[in-house]
Structures are given as C-alpha cells and as structure tokens.
Amino acid sequence: MSFNEIRWHPLLGTWNIVASGRATRPWRDVKCPFCPGAPETGEGWDVISLDNRYPSLSTTPVISAAAPSFSETRPGYGRCKVVIETPDHEGDLDTISFKNLVKYVEILGRETEELARDPEIKYVAPFRNKGELIGVSIHHPHSQIYALPFIPLKIERELEFMTRYNREKGTCVICDIVKEEQGGGRVVYSNRDFILILPFYAQWPHECHIYPRRHFQLLSELTAMEKESLADILLITVAMYNSLFSFSLPYMMVIHQAPVKGQHPQYHLHIEFYTIHRYADKLKYAAGIEWGYWAFTYDELPENRVKELKQAARKAVERLGKQQYSPLGVFQP
C-alpha cells in the first residue's frame, strides 16, 4: 500500500510531504512514458498536461500511522501534474517552437485556475527540473505542478516580507526592484512585460529571476500579450544558460505565485532559476552552512557573474537567429 501524508515539522513550523509510492517511479533508462504513442500520452499533441502516475500527494490519501505528541500527521491531499512541453524526447525550452512555449505558459495558467477551485488546495506550485545532476528521473522535457494543502514556508516568508515592505514604504518591493534595476548592470534582458536579472541577493552561482513589470499575483492573471512576453523571456533565459558553458546546463525553475485562497495584494509573482555550476568543471555544493543554517555563501561577486551571463546571452542570440527567432526585447549591454 502507498501512503500519502504530510507531517508537521515542529522546529520550523512547516509541513513535510511523505509519499512512499514515489520509491517505485521509473528511473531514467526505461522506455519513455512521455513520448508520443506511450499509454499516458497517446498521439496528436504538441503540449500536454497529465496527472502524475507517481504522485507525492493524492486525492485519496492514506496515512501510515498516528503522529507522536510533538508533531501532527494529516492526509497528503493534493494533485501532482506533469506538463510535457514537446513530443521530442530531447531538448529544452530553447529548442521547442515559440508556439509551444506560449501554449505551455497558457497551460500553467489554466492549471493554476482549475486546481485553485479545489477547496482543499491552498497553493499551486509549478516548477521545472532539468538535468541528471538536479535529479531528473525522466529525460523527456517536462515540468511539474504540485497543488498543495498548505502554503510552503518559503512562500510564507516572501508574503510576510512583501507585506511588511508595503506597510513600511507603501510600495511593492519587486516593483521597486524593477524600477531601480532597469537599465542597470545586473539586468541581462528585458522585454515589454518582464525583466531578467541576476539579483543583488543571489544565492546560487548563476541564479536569475524573472520579474513582471506589472504587479499581479497568479499565472491565471496573465494577459494574452504577457503570455507571449513570458514565453519570449523563458526562451531567452534557457538559451542563455545553455550557451554559458557550451553544454546543456542543469537548472531548477520555480514559479512563485501567491496562495490561491484568500486575498494577497502585496504579493508579486516572479520566477526563479537556480543553477549549480560555478564553472564548467566545478559545482556549487550546498553543504553545512547552507542546508544546516540556510545561510548561503556566494563564491564570487554577483556583478561578475552577470558579465558571464551577458556574454552567454550574445551567443544565444546568434544561435536563435539561425533558428529564425527574433527576440521580442533588448539585451542590456
């Protein structure tokens, strides 16, 4: 029997997901379940959203045992989705068609809206893991969406500090970052609706964030023009990363949006990319000080890393030009 539950962490004030059935999920060198013609996917699609066959959360969860007095166990209720961005078994967001990318963004917004209708769901978390070093189990390009029965601790923390900033200054912290940084040295690329920046407070070696110019909370609120702009800046970001060291760079892409229950007007949606390569042959290992204390050490000046990313972006533009793609925005010199 598989168990899906959430267990309360009494020292941190957050929930951990426990999913025993995940241990048997397919691992890498198997017949791809995401390619066209597979039982899960069928034929005749370009971008598709599916229920995860090995979910961390379930709509019919079973609890393994009662919790000790100092903690709590609840059913691991929720939904886990997989979004397959292309029928091609190999590739990344910079190798699929722009039409697919726009549809991908539309699906993320639609899934957010649909999953939010469930009264038990408090947060919708879309993310994308890429590369074996990140721990990807299936090579076929795909993203995931977790619909959670709780608000993740990191989002709670962001919401707390965005609210505090608004209370103290009367403005939004991300709106202020966009205004102050636009045209500055840490911005790599910008288009009509978004900017791509290596933030002043980066934690991972070539970490970048995508910030919307407009203040809004959820993917389901994107306008038609913003969907195209977001597809464009995702394409540029991934192409930049894959040009950085002349190999397909592993990364994590996480979309931070507001909780889907209640009103959270101070929250500003954004996207964060985490990379683990310091150099082509050296990795950033998050070790004792990072995992044990959440105090990240940055092994360079972020402003020097930006120079590397801008050079990679120029290479990416040349490659995209050969693919007949013209960026919708401008690159920061």
Point out the catalytic residue in the list 140, 142, 268, 270.
Answer: 142
CA distances from 165 to 214, 231, 233, 258, 307 (A): 18, 30, 27, 16, 30
How many angstroms separate the CA atoms of 199 and 276, rounded?
Answer: 16
- In sequence order, the 6+-apart residues with CB closer than 8 A to the CB of 298 are 202, 203, 205
Question: Is 215 designated active site?
Answer: no
How many angstroms separate the CA atoms of 265 and 3, rounded?
Answer: 36
How many angstroms separate the CA atoms of 27 and 127, rounded?
Answer: 19
How many angstroms separate the CA atoms of 313 and 250, rounded?
Answer: 17
Are residues 278 and 305 in contact, defined by beta-carbon separation less than 8 angstroms?
A: no
**SS3 of residue 235 by DSSP:** helix
| Cα dihedral value 105, 111, 113, 118, nearest 10 | -160
CA distances from 103 to 96, 99, 109, 211 (A): 11, 6, 10, 20
Q: Active-site residues: which are they? A: 142
